[in-house]
């Protein structure tokens, strides 16, 4: 045990779950059924994987640490419903993986994510959201609070708007540092993300406009939009948005109106 802990790689965000109650609550949230396909990102030493495999669902784990991959293969050698891919989850094409392994299926996703990739992975998962019926993810608490922030909340930012446009966000519970080994300095939270039918027509334009609007948080929406939207003042007026407002106060409906008011959209 001492030996194993000494090998936790800080650079890969390795804080392994040891709290049985937290593990059980994550399993309950994922709710794997025998007919399900479940992806797990970053299985580590299998703390979550064990219960997922025991459910009988088809589990495909994606682990970047090449030293952990053979250990996982050994640990689950008897389980024909388990496989692990050595890969970076940030570059995995989930559409392709599903086509190869379970054509036509929508998958569930479970992950206790390394903190350093949380924003990047979230953007990737949003891009590939059609692949998933739901995602149960653990992030640092601050990231979950940002994702779940409503218009006017100080934590509201680019990620909150992006998530609100494409997902139903349900914060499930907080997890203290003692639930992990080695212990992180910060609290974590578990969140359920369910892809929704989005009203956004052009996801790339939406991402660009929202990102530009938050580029300098202390500036008004008009000043942030000016460099990227011709006649920004007229566009905001047309969308019924006061140009002196800040991006964090804008609601989902207003973002949609703003996109619709930009000529050529």
User: Residue numbers of the site for ligand SAM (CB under 6 A)?
Assistant: 12-17, 41-44, 47-48, 62-65, 68, 88-90, 112, 114, 117
Cβ closest to ligand SAM, residue 139 vs residue 214 = 139
**Minimum distance from residue 36 beta carbon to ligand SAM (Å):** 18
Cβ closest to ligand SAM, residue 90 vs residue 196 = 90
**Minimum distance from residue 48 beta carbon to ligand SAM (Å):** 5
Cβ closest to ligand SAM, residue 67 vs residue 197 = 67
Angstrom distance (rounded) from CA 250 to CA 151: 6
Cβ closest to ligand SAM, residue 72 vs residue 235 = 72
**Minimum distance from residue 215 beta carbon to ligand SAM (Å):** 26
Cβ closest to ligand SAM, residue 10 vs residue 208 = 10
**Minimum distance from residue 174 beta carbon to ligand SAM (Å):** 16
CA-wise closest residue to 130 among 97, 96, 169, 95: 95
**Minimum distance from residue 201 beta carbon to ligand SAM (Å):** 31
Burial class (CB in 10 A: 0-12, 13-18, 19+), 166: buried
State both tokens at 198.
């989005």
């Amino acid at each position: 045990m001492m030996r194993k802990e000494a090998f936790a790689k800080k650079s890969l965000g390795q804080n392994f779950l040891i709290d049985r109650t937290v593990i059980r609550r994550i399993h309950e949230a994922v709710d794997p059924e025998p007919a399900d396909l479940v992806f797990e990102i970053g299985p580590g030493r299998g703390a979550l994987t064990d219960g997922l495999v025991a459910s009988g669902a088809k589990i495909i784990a994606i682990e970047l640490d090449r030293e952990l991959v053979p250990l996982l293969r050994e640990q689950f050698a008897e389980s024909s419903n388990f496989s692990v891919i050595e890969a970076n989850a940030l570059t995995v094409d989930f559409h392709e993986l599903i086509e190869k392994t379970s054509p036509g299926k929508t998958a569930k996703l479970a992950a206790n994510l390394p903190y350093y990739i949380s924003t990047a992975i979230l953007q990737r998962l949003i891009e590939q959201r059609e692949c998933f019926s739901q995602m149960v993810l653990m992030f640092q608490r601050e990231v979950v609070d940002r994702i779940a922030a409503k218009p006017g909340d100080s934590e509201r930012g680019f990620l909150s708007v992006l998530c609100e446009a494409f997902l139903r966000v349900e914060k499930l519970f907080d997890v203290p540092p003692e639930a992990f080994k080695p212990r992180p300095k910060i609290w974590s939270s578990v969140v359920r993300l369910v892809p929704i039918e989005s009203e956004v027509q052009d996801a790339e334009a939406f991402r660009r406009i929202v990102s530009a609007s938050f580029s300098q948080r202390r500036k008004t929406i008009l000043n942030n939009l000016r460099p990227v939207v011709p006649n920004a003042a007229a566009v905001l007026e047309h969308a019924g948005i006061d140009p002196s407002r800040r991006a964090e106060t804008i609601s989902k409906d207003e973002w949609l109106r703003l996109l619709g008011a930009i000529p050529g959209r």
